Amino acid sequence: MRKASNEPKQKKTDRSPFHQGEQAIQERLGVKQAMEAFGRKVIRDHLPEQHREFYNKLPFILLGHCDDEGWPWASIISGAPGFISSKDNTHLRINGTPPPGDPLLSAIKPGTKIGGLGIEPENRRRNRFSAIVQQANHTGLDLTIEQTFGNCPQYIQARTFESHSSKSSQQTAKPIAIKRLDNKTKALIAGSDTFYVASSTQAEQRSAGKALPAHYGADVSHRGGQPGFIEIVNDNTLIIPDYLGNNHYNTLGNFTVHPRAGLLFIDDKSGDLLTLTGSVEIIWNHPLQKYFDGAERFWSFTVDHGFLLEKGFPFKIQMQSYSPNTYLTGTWAQARALQNAEETRDQWRGFRVTKKKPESNTITSFYLEPENGILPRFEAGQFLNLQVMINGQPVIRPYTISSAPGQRHYRLSVKREQASPLAPNSAPGLVSNFLHDALQMGDRVLIKPPNGKFVFNTNSTRPAVMLAAGIGITPIISMLKHALLENIRTRSMRPITVFACARSASERSFTEELKNIEANANGFISIYWILSRPEPGLIKGLHKQSSDYQFEGRLNKQIIQSVLPIDDYDFYLCGPDGFMQSTYDSLLSLGVKDAKINAESFGPSALKRKSHTESLASGDARAALKEVASEAVVSIHNKKNKQVVEQLWQKKDESLLEFAESHGFTPEYSCRNGTCGACSVKLENGEVSYLSPPAYPVKQGDALLCCARPASSSTNTIPHLAFTV
Ligand code: FES
C-alpha cells in the first residue's frame, strides 16, 4: 500500500505558468495548448520532498541572474554535499558563495530574481527552480522558492566529481577579463560537451517597475551535445544547435523577451571556468540544419564580456558516459561532411567490413564503416547498392540496411541464395555466396549512398502494422530500432504490430534481437511469429513467455484480424513476391486502402497494385508516360575511352540497358527491374518512356536504363537519345 503523501496541494491559479515569450515559442512550434495543461501539472510553487533531498546531496548548484546592466550570467557555487538545505518546502539555504570575480557576488541582494539548476552528475537527474533572494551575506544565500519542476536527463553526460580539497585555490584564483575569445578559450569551447546558459526577462522586469509574477525572472539551463556541437564563427560569435527538449522553451522564451544570455563552461581537466555574457539571436532556418543530427533550430551568441577563472572549479571531473540522447546528435564537422556527402550522392564510396555475424543458417550480417568516417544518411527501410569484385569483374546488388539511422555503420543482412549447379558463377547466388564465403573483416567494398521510398514515418501517430517474410524482416528491424531511438529522443512512439513469417524456427533470423526490441518498447511493439512448417516439439501460443511461435501456416486475413483491433493503420509490407502479393490482396479484402500499404518487394517482379491496375485500365498511367518510339537514334558515350557509338534502336531491342550491352557497353545495374536506381544515367538528349512506372524515384532528366525505352518525338521525326555510361 502506498504511504499517504504529505505533499502540499498546489495552489490553484488561472495564471499560465509560462510568460509571453515562452508562449510565443510554444505557439510557433504548435505545442502551446498541450504545454498550458502540462505546465500546470508539473510546475509547482514549492519544493517537493524529493527535491529537498535531492538538493541536499549535491556538490554544486548552477544559478542564473541578470545584472543591473541587463546582462545575464550563469554562475556555479560548490560545496561539500549538505551545503544546500531547506528548512521547509518554500525555502532553500545555500551555504557558499560564487568564485572570485563572479558578478553574482555583487548582485546578490534581497529581491534579486534567480533561476537555479541542480544536477546529480552520476545519475544525470536534474531539477530546477526559480526563486527570490531573501537575504545574502559572505556565508551564503537564503532563497524563497517561486517555481520548481523536474527535468528529464536528456543530453546530460554522466560524470563523477572527486574531492573538494582545492577550495582554497579557487578562492585565491584571479579572474582574467575577456572581451574576445582567444585560442585558449576557443579550445575550451571546442572541446566542451556541456555548458550552462542563463537567460532572463530583464526587459520585462524593468518596464514593469513592480514585483513580477513567478513566471518572470531568470533561468539557468543545461546544454549538452558531442564535442564540436558549438560552432566558433570568429573571436566573438558562437552558433549553438537547439535540440528537442521538454517543450517549456524557458531559454528561447526568455531570448524573445530579452535577447541576451550568459554562458558558463567548465574545463573537465583543468577546472578552469569560462563565464561569458552577450547578445543572442534565434536562427530558425540555417542552411546546415538538415545535415545536423538532432538540431531543430539554432541560436547565435555574440560575446560582450566575461572572465576566465583558472582552476576555478574545485573538483576533479571524470567523464563516465555520454547520454544516449547525445549519440543522436551531430557536430558542425559532421554536418558539413554530410552536406558534402549528399551533394556527391551519386558517387561510389569505399567502405570496410568491420564485423561479420551469422544470424541464421542462411543469413549473415555485414557491418560496413566508411573509409572517410562519413556515413551518408539514410531513412529506416532504405537500401543501398553494394559493389564487389568477383573474378575481376565489378558486380552490383541492392541490399536493405538492417541497422538504424544514427549509428556509425551500415549493417547489411544478406541471405545466401541457392546458386544453380549448372551456372554457379551467375545470378542467382553469385554475390550472396561470395559475401558469405569470401568477404572477410577488413575487406573493402564500394557502396552508393542509400535510397528508396519504403521508409518508416516516426512522426505519424497512427498505429503501424509491419508484415514481413524471410529476409524481408531486414528493413522492418531497421524501422523498429529507429522507432526505439526516436522514442528516446522525443519520448513518443506510435504503437507497432509486427507479423514475422518464416518456414521454420531454424530458418528465422534475428529472434533474440526482435525479442529485445519488444522488451524495450514498453508495450508499444508487439511481435507475432508465423511459421509455415514448425519443427515438432515447438510450443504454439499467444502467451509469448511460454511459447516459441504464435501461429502456424501462412499469414492470412484471419490471423491479421485475430490480432488487430479495428483501427486506422499504416501497413508496411516486405518479403518475397508471392508473400507480398497474397498479403497485399488480403489487406485489400479487409478493406485497407491501397494508399495505406507501403511495400518493398524482394524479387524480380514488383507488386501489382490495385491503384496501378485501375489507372492503367483508365489510361491515366499510360497518359502520364510518354509513348514509346518505334525506333530512335541512340548515342552512347563511353566514359572511359571517350568514344561514342551511335546506333538505331528498334522496339525489338527492348530496354536501353539491353541495347547498350548488345553494343559492347557494360553499364552499372543491379535489380534490372526499376527498383534500385543502379542503372540511372543523365540524359544528354531526348526523352525516355517506361512500360509501367518504375518503383525507383527517377529524377527529372535521368533515365533508368534497365526499363527505359526511347520516347516518341512530338514532331514526327526519329527521336535522338544520348547518354554516357
Ligand atoms: S538496375 Fe535497378 S533500377 Fe535499373
**Mean pLDDT value across residues 467-489:** 92
Ligand 1 neighbour 430 (Cβ under 6 A): no
Residue 366 Cα to ligand 1 midpoint, Å, equals 23
Phi and psi angles of residue 192, each rounded to the nearest 5 degrees, phi first: -80, 140
Topology annotation, domain 625-724: Ubiquitin-like (UB roll) (3.10.20)
Ligand 1 neighbour 690 (Cβ under 6 A): no
Ligand 1 neighbour 400 (Cβ under 6 A): no
Distance of alpha carbon 587 from alpha carbon 609, whole angstroms: 12
Please say if the pLDDT value at position 125 is more than 80. yes
Ligand 1 neighbour 656 (Cβ under 6 A): no
Rg, C-alpha atoms of the chain: 31
Amino acid at residue number 155: Y
Ligand 1 neighbour 549 (Cβ under 6 A): no
* Residue 143 grid cell: 532563497
Residue 705 Cα to ligand 1 midpoint, Å, equals 7
Q: Which ligand 1 atom lies nearest to the CA of residue 669?
A: 1
Phi and psi angles of residue 443, each rounded to the nearest 5 degrees, phi first: -65, 155
Task: Dump the DSSP string for 597-616.
Answer: EEEEE-SSS----HHHHHHH
Ligand 1 neighbour 679 (Cβ under 6 A): yes
Burial class (CB in 10 A: 0-12, 13-18, 19+), 417: middle
Phi and psi angles of residue 527, each rounded to the nearest 5 degrees, phi first: -115, 130
Burial class (CB in 10 A: 0-12, 13-18, 19+), 453: middle
Residue 238 contacts residue 299 (beta carbons within 8 Å): no
Instruction: Name residues whose C-beta falls within 8 Å of residue 451's C-beta, 6 or more positions apart in sequence.
Output: 382, 383, 384, 385, 676, 677, 696
H or E element, residue 189: helix 183-190
* Residue 226 grid cell: 558531442
Ligand 1 neighbour 704 (Cβ under 6 A): yes
Ligand 1 test: best mutation among 675, 681, 709, most atoms within 8 Å of CB?
675
Lowest mean pLDDT among 157-166, 413-422, 469-478, 558-567: 157-166
Nearest Cα neighbor of 607 from 587, 577, 583, 585 is 577
- Class at the top of the CATH hierarchy for domain 464-618: alpha beta
Comparing 465 with 343, which gets the higher pLDDT? 465
Return the pLDDT at 208.
44
Residue 387 Cα to ligand 1 midpoint, Å, equals 14
Residue 148 contacts residue 43 (beta carbons within 8 Å): yes
Residue 79 Cα to ligand 1 midpoint, Å, equals 66
Q: Tens of pLDDT along 170-213?
A: 667 789 999 999 999 999 999 999 999 999 987 555 444 455 55
Residue 694 Cα to ligand 1 midpoint, Å, equals 9
Please say if the pLDDT value at position 423 is more than 80. no
Ligand 1 neighbour 517 (Cβ under 6 A): no
Return the pLDDT at 609.
75
Return the pLDDT at 620.
41
* Residue 137 grid cell: 551575506
Q: Tens of pLDDT along 618-634?
A: 444 444 578 899 999 99
Please say if the pLDDT value at position 87 is more than 50. yes
Residue 685 Cα to ligand 1 midpoint, Å, equals 20
Return the pLDDT at 241.
98
Distance of alpha carbon 485 from alpha carbon 159, whole angstroms: 23
Comparing 58 with 677, which gets the higher pLDDT? 58
Phi and psi angles of residue 230, each rounded to the nearest 5 degrees, phi first: -105, 125
Q: Which ligand 1 atom lies nearest to the CA of residue 707?
A: 4
Q: What is the DSSP letter of 8?
A: P
344-451 to CATH, choices 2.40.420.20, 1.20.58.1610, 2.40.30.10, 1.10.580.10: 2.40.30.10
Ligand 1 test: best mutation among 384, 602, 670, most atoms within 8 Å of CB?
670
Q: Which ligand 1 atom lies nearest to the CA of residue 694?
A: 3
Which residue ranges make up each domain of the chain? 20-333, 344-451, 464-618, 625-724
Confidence of residue 341 (pLDDT cuts 50, 70, 90): confident
Residue 548 Cα to ligand 1 midpoint, Å, equals 39
Amino acid at residue number 291: Y
Return the pLDDT at 222.
95
Nearest Cα neighbor of 178 from 277, 326, 319, 251 is 277
Confidence of residue 4 (pLDDT cuts 50, 70, 90): very low
Please say if the pLDDT value at position 41 is more than 70. yes
Residue 336 contacts residue 291 (beta carbons within 8 Å): yes
Q: What is the DSSP letter of 540?
A: B
* Residue 135 grid cell: 537575504
Instruction: Name residues whose C-beta falls within 8 Å of residue 223's C-beta, 6 or more positions apart in sequence.
Output: 155, 194, 195, 196, 197, 240
Return the pLDDT at 2.
39
Ligand 1 neighbour 676 (Cβ under 6 A): yes
Residue 397 Cα to ligand 1 midpoint, Å, equals 10
Nearest Cα neighbor of 50 from 9, 76, 86 is 86
Return the pLDDT at 167.
56
Instruction: Name residues whose C-beta falls within 8 Å of residue 203's C-beta, 6 or more positions apart in sequence.
Output: 70, 257, 258
Q: Tens of pLDDT along 599-658?
A: 876 655 567 777 655 544 444 444 457 889 999 999 999 988 888 899 999 999 999 999
Neighbours of 56 (CB within 10 A): 15
Ligand 1 neighbour 677 (Cβ under 6 A): yes
CATH number of 20-333: 2.30.110.10
Strand, helix or coil for residue 514: helix
Strand, helix or coil for residue 592: coil
* Residue 689 grid cell: 518512356
Ligand 1 neighbour 383 (Cβ under 6 A): no
User: Nearest 5 degrees, angle CA 277-CA 283-CA 286?
Assistant: 130
**Nearest protein CA to atom 3 of ligand 1, as residue:** 674
Nearest Cα neighbor of 607 from 693, 707, 706 is 693
Ligand 1 neighbour 678 (Cβ under 6 A): yes
In what order do the strands lie in the sheet containing 349-358? 393-400, 383-390, 444-451, 349-358, 363-370, 410-415
Return the pLDDT at 617.
45
Distance of alpha carbon 541 from alpha carbon 544, whole angstroms: 7
H or E element, residue 467: strand 464-469
Q: Which ligand 1 atom lies nearest to the CA of residue 671?
A: 2
**Mean pLDDT value across residues 13-36:** 87
Ligand 1 neighbour 670 (Cβ under 6 A): yes
Ligand 1 test: best mutation among 706, 709, 723, 725, most atoms within 8 Å of CB?
706
Ligand 1 test: best mutation among 451, 666, 672, most atoms within 8 Å of CB?
672
Ligand 1 neighbour 121 (Cβ under 6 A): no
Q: Which ligand 1 atom lies nearest to the CA of residue 668?
A: 1
Distance of alpha carbon 181 from alpha carbon 76, whole angstroms: 21
Q: Which ligand 1 atom lies nearest to the CA of residue 705?
A: 4
User: Nearest 5 degrees, angle CA 18-CA 23-CA 29?
Assistant: 135
Ligand 1 neighbour 223 (Cβ under 6 A): no
Q: What is the DSSP letter of 422?
A: T
Q: Which ligand 1 atom lies nearest to the CA of residue 396?
A: 1
Residue 677 Cα to ligand 1 midpoint, Å, equals 5
Residue 421: cis peptide before it, omega within 30 degrees of 0 = no
H or E element, residue 723: strand 720-724
Ligand 1 neighbour 706 (Cβ under 6 A): yes
Nearest Cα neighbor of 97 from 80, 115, 111, 77 is 77
Please say if the pLDDT value at position 7 is more than 60. no
Please say if the pLDDT value at position 1 is more than 50. no
User: Residues, the chain, total?
Assistant: 725
Distance of alpha carbon 218 from alpha carbon 212, whole angstroms: 11
Residue 698 Cα to ligand 1 midpoint, Å, equals 11
Lowest mean pLDDT among 18-32, 304-318, 377-391, 692-706: 692-706
In what order do the strands lie in the sheet containing 702-704? 644-650, 631-637, 720-724, 680-685, 702-704
Return the pLDDT at 217.
80
Residue 449 Cα to ligand 1 midpoint, Å, equals 15
% pLDDT > 90, the chain: 57
